[in-house]
């Protein structure tokens, strides 16, 4: 499965937020979207998922325009988890995760037992099976974040779009999240992830796309994107660098502007 974005521009309230962005996400890739607050990352993610219109450019999934898929067809192959997802109804965690199976309702060969298996597997994958009977409005922020991730995973999508899923997660579950996304890519899925943690981005993502003022400033492996010059331009920071177990360690260190 291949997602290809060409010269995509998006405007909100008559202001251009994303400017001629071009990139691709293929099966087996974990791609990180990074950049400062307000740089256009979330808008780009939503437009790419077909959730908001764009002014110009194309978004194609396996050579077909995203707009050419029915909502149900698209929902069966692409899952989107927004930043700060919420649920205002007193549903159990298990029922919330089961919402991720709705696109498969009435699909030939999909049984309630089959759906239940996917729901349980998704809960296990995010270390939340023990929360299945808890009411979601009574869970902590980090617990809710894991349940919403499980909802996105319940459909076993070929493409997973996630916007800042680590907000509210403790260090253990933050690492577990990145390992889970890395494993999904290794299984042949594509993952497009908005994140701010440069250390996690450098360690786990196959490629990074650095957004600055609505434009793609750099794209490629971490060593070519997380340079001192580019980080000073996009984030206004310098970083501390080291290695641990042969992997890069990057920590924001000083503001440079």
What mean pLDDT is predicted for residues 88-108? 90
With b meaning 16 or more CB within 10 Å and e meaning fewer, what string describes 176-200?
A: bbbebbbebbeeebbbbbbbbbbbb
Domain boundaries, the chain: 2-255
Query: Which pLDDT tens digit goes with each residue over 61-70?
Result: 999 999 899 9
Query: Which pLDDT tens digit goes with each residue over 129-183?
Result: 999 999 999 999 999 999 999 999 999 999 999 999 888 899 999 999 999 999 9
* Residue 103, C-beta contacts closer than 8 angstroms, at least 6 positions apart: 72, 75, 76, 155
Look up the CATH superfamily of 2-255: P-loop containing nucleotide triphosphate hydrolases (3.40.50.300)
Q: Residue 154 and residue 147: Cα distance in Å, rounded? A: 10
Q: Which of 143, 148, 36 is nearest to 86 (CA)?
A: 148
Q: What is the DSSP string of 156-202?
A: --SEEEEESTTTT--HHHHHHHHHHHHHHHHTT-EEEEE---HHHHH
pTM (predicted TM-score): 0.93
What mean pLDDT is predicted for residues 95-113? 85
Say if residues 215 and 20 touch (Cβ distance below 8 Å).
Answer: yes
Position 87 scores a pLDDT of: 86
pLDDT, the chain, mean: 94
């Amino acid at each position: 499965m291949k997602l290809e974005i060409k010269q995509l521009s998006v405007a909100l309230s008559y202001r251009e937020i994303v400017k001629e962005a071009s990139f691709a996400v293929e099966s087996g890739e974990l791609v990180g979207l990074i950049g400062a607050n307000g740089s256009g990352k979330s808008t780009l993610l939503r437009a790419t998922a077909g959730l908001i219109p764009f002014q110009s450019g194309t978004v194609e999934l396996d050579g077909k325009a995203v707009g050419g898929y029915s909502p149900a067809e698209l929902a069966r192959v692409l899952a989107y988890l927004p930043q700060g997802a919420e649920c205002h109804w007193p549903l159990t965690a298990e029922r919330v995760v089961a919402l991720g199976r709705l696109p498969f309702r009435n699909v030939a060969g999909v049984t309630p037992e089959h759906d239940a298996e996917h729901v349980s597997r998704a809960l296990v994958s995010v270390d939340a099976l023990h929360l299945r009977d808890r009411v979601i409005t009574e869970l902590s922020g980090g617990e809710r974040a894991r349940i919403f991730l499980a909802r996105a995973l319940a459909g076993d999508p070929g493409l997973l779009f996630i916007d800042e899923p680590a907000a509210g997660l403790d260090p253990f579950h933050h690492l577990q999240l990145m390992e889970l996304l890395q494993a999904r890519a290794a299984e042949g899925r594509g993952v497009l992830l908005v994140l701010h943690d440069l250390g996690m981005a450098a360690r786990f993502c196959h490629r990074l796309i650095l957004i600055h003022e609505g434009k793609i400033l750099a794209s490629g492996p971490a060593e070519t994107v997380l340079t001192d010059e580019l980080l000073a331009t996009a984030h206004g920071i310098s970083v501390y660098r080291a290695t641990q177990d042969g992997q890069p360690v990057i920590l924001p260190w000083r503001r440079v502007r």
